[in-house]
Structure 1
């Protein structure tokens, strides 16, 4: 059988306070810089949770550690799967984003197994999709569908700043 996933792209943590977490990682452990973004209905299209259109919001920070992106996510409301995780489990490892040879085939694989899309949206040409692999893999799997010329948008903030 051909592997469903071919690369680890991202490891993501849910945190109570994105700015405080970024400062801890950067100031205490020297990990950064962190690009900080606001995801909300003004910046993300086609937001869904469990197949329903639901607007949600989060503040997130992205950083590269050894070729793998790390993400810190602070839910800004009680609607998202991040907020559910924070309420049920507290801060911690939330999901792993994997590379896949075919986004559509991967979504179909999960659907055929009765495993739903938990949450998703489209941000600046990147469609992100969280797949319910918790029962089998003990984690949420995220996959991306990128436009061919995807380029990361400018962050709203960077910590530490490049002064």
Structure 2
């Protein structure tokens, strides 16, 4: 692999302090329908399996965040309100406040792309699988000005590589 195999931006993730307020402002400003705000079940205990897990900086985490998706042409603007718990969105909020956290590209060959990006010196910091897709974030802010995200949609063609808790750390 010589480069990431897709340069079509599909998602921009924006960490906000108040998702209801931010979503309402976007809807009013662009004349679009108020998006559904997904609020995770606070009592849900994550079951980290090959078809569903959230891994962050070497540990499995709850990985919960309030989110709302705004479809803006071919790009999804994903608003995220972080919970006060370990995770990439809360870490970003603590360090940067509100703002653009990540840009995401859909790729074929998820694990091969992770290996490629890491070979370029950008450590994997966050990875999740949710049954019909998988996503990852890399430590790219210092060089790219934003967190790079890669996702692959659909059931995996082969067995996914589930990170080891405590084994990989950025």
Structures share fold, TM-score greater than 0.5: yes
- Equivalence map 1:52-63=2 (5 Å): 52-63=59-70
Q: Secondary structure at the match of 1:93?
A: strand
Following superposition, the deviation at residue 17 of structure 1 comes to: 1.0
Q: Structure 1 residues 31, 94: closer, same or farther in 2, change over 3 A? A: farther
Q: Secondary structure at the match of 2:39?
A: strand
| Separation in 2, partners of 1:23, 1:39 | 20
Could you say what the CA RMSD is over the residues aligned between the two structures, in angstroms? 2.4
Q: Unaligned stretches of 5+ in structure 1?
A: 150-163
Please point out which of 134, 137, 144 is paired with 1:127: 134
Where do 4+ consecutive residues of structure 1 move more than 6 Å? Answer: none
The two structures have a TM-score, normalised by structure 2, of 0.76
The two structures have a TM-score, normalised by structure 1, of 0.79
Which structure has more strand as a fraction of its residues? 1
| Separation in 1, partners of 2:46, 2:152 | 17
Q: Secondary structure at the match of 1:56?
A: coil
Instruction: Map Cα deviations across residues 84-110 of structure 1 (whole Å, 9 max, x no partner).
Output: 111111101110001224322210012
- Report what 2:20 is aligned to: 19
Q: How many residues align?
A: 149
| Separation in 1, partners of 2:131, 2:35 | 19
Q: Structure 1 residues 69, 113: closer, same or farther in 2, change over 3 A? A: same
Does structure 2 conserve the Cα–Cα contact (< 8 Å) formed by 1:13 and 1:93?
Answer: yes
